Amino acid sequence: MNFTQNNHLTYTIGDRLFGHRETPYEKYKVNVGKIDHDYYKTSNWLEQQYRTADIVFKEFGKDLIVFFSGGTDSEIVLKAFHQIGVKPRAVFIKFKNDYNIEDFKIAVSIAEEMAINLEVIEFDVKEFYRSGEAAEFAKTLQCRQIAYLTVYYNILKLQSPAVMGGEMLLRRHVTSTDSKWYYCIRENEDASAMRFSLKYKIPLVNEWFSYTPEMIGYYLEDPTIQWLISDRYNYKLGSVTSKNEILERLFPNITPKIKTTGYEHLLGFNGETYRELYLTHPRRLESSLDGIFIDDLKFQLYGPDYDSSKT
């Protein structure tokens, strides 16, 4: 099963590939593949989006589903498929009591604009949690985020290959002496997508924005990303608040919107589930990163001859 191009992006826990945590002491490690230098000179980030759509469509076939949240990431995924002449099924998970109605309206509007039939799943996310189903699923997959569990649960029902989007999240890691930025692929969230896919044998892409090594390379070269990770006193701790501005610049005709999570009306619930579902996991006591430092990432991407001054 390919989660990224030729599975260039991998993680291990206690040296087990795409495994789950068995003890509180095991290290979590993320690795990425090498870019093709000659090809890298001739392509760009946008081309990598279309290339990814092409590869994923060839692997997943016409039954593939894009989980469309109305956000920028999944809008780009849909438009990348659209650009290569593919119309995947687009599914929106609409919460009971209109908790994510604003996102739903945006999703409907974008789907209409693209002449896509938006399939809507009515879902009672609170009942999913209260019934204990979410906790059982959380334990099985070692995933603590209700948003991810909700999507996995519905993929399982639909039994179709799926794409979830998946931003390339960068975060600042702060120590007592300095701070270093890292590419964050969270052990109990992002990595759970691979565990889900392998367990239920349903193809799933959750790292669309890291799908090829080249795509990662171009993103890291973006001037806003460069500013984020090189200016110590920009008072930024993550790339989340800068992401939409970057993506709107990199991908043509993206609907401008404020970054949301879909849980703005469920903040207390989201926090409670995040804490409670963690009780189904082995506690993590070793402070290995939830990702890979940018320096190490670049070294892996560009190889040992990498000269940081040239990028």
Partner 1 sequence: MTVVKLDSSHKDAVKELFQTKKYMGIDVADSSFNPNGDGDEFNEVLYNIFCSNYLSDLNNFHAYGYLEDGKVKALISFYESNEEPSWFYTIYRSSGNNNMLRDVLDEVIKHNEERGRLKFYTLTTSKHTKLLRRFHWSKYNNERYGYFDEFLVPAKNKCLYINPWELLFKRFLIPEDSIVRCNFLKQEYRITLPIGGNL
| DSSP codes of every residue in the chain | --SSGGG-SEEEETTEET----STT--EEEE-----HHHHHH--HHHHHHHHHHHHHHHH-TT-EEE--SSHHHHHHHHHHHHTT---EEEEEEEGGGTTHHHHHHHHHHHHHTT--EEEEEE-HHHHHHTSHHHHHHHHHT---HHHHHHHHHHHHHTS-EE------EEEEE-SS-EEEEEE--TTTHHHHHHHHHHHT--EE--GGGSSHHHHHHHHHSHHHHHHHH-GGG---BSHHHHHHHHHHHSTTPPP-----S-GGGHHHHHHHHHHHHTTS----S---SEEEHHHHHHHHH-TT--GGG-
CB of 194 to partner 1, least distance (A): 24
Instruction: CB nearer to partner 1: give 11 or 152.
Output: 11
- For residue 174, list its beta bridge partners: 179
101 binds partner 1 (CB under 8 A): no
* Cβ atoms 117, 111 nearer than 8 A: yes
Instruction: CB nearer to partner 1: give 7 or 234.
Output: 234
Instruction: CB nearer to partner 1: give 41 or 232.
Output: 232
CB of 179 to partner 1, least distance (A): 6
User: Which residues, in sequence order, are CB contacts of 305 under 8 Å at separation 6+?
Assistant: none
CB of 108 to partner 1, least distance (A): 41
230 binds partner 1 (CB under 8 A): no
CB of 286 to partner 1, least distance (A): 5
CB of 52 to partner 1, least distance (A): 34
Q: How far is CA 77 from CA 36, 57, 68, 138, in A?
A: 23, 11, 9, 26
Instruction: CB nearer to partner 1: give 51 or 186.
Output: 186
Instruction: CB nearer to partner 1: give 117 or 176.
Output: 176
CB of 24 to partner 1, least distance (A): 6
- Within 13 Å, how many C-alpha atoms sit on residue 148's CB side? 28
Tokens describing residue 230: 């090189």
Query: Per CB under 8 A, which of residues 165..194 are in contact with partner 1?
Result: 172, 174-179
**Region of 83-91, 121-129, 207-215, 279-287 interacting with partner 1 (CB under 8 A):** 279-287
CB of 287 to partner 1, least distance (A): 5
233 binds partner 1 (CB under 8 A): yes
Mask for 1-30, x = binds partner 1 (CB under 8 A):
-----------------------xx-x---
Instruction: CB nearer to partner 1: give 201 or 232.
Output: 232
Instruction: CB nearer to partner 1: give 94 or 172.
Output: 172
307 binds partner 1 (CB under 8 A): no
Instruction: CB nearer to partner 1: give 41 or 235.
Output: 235
Count interface residues toward partner 1 (CB under 8 A).
18
- For residue 184, list its beta bridge partners: 291
Instruction: CB nearer to partner 1: give 235 or 309.
Output: 235
232 binds partner 1 (CB under 8 A): yes
288 binds partner 1 (CB under 8 A): yes
Binding site for partner 1 (CB under 8 A): 24-25, 27, 172, 174-179, 232-233, 235, 283, 285-288
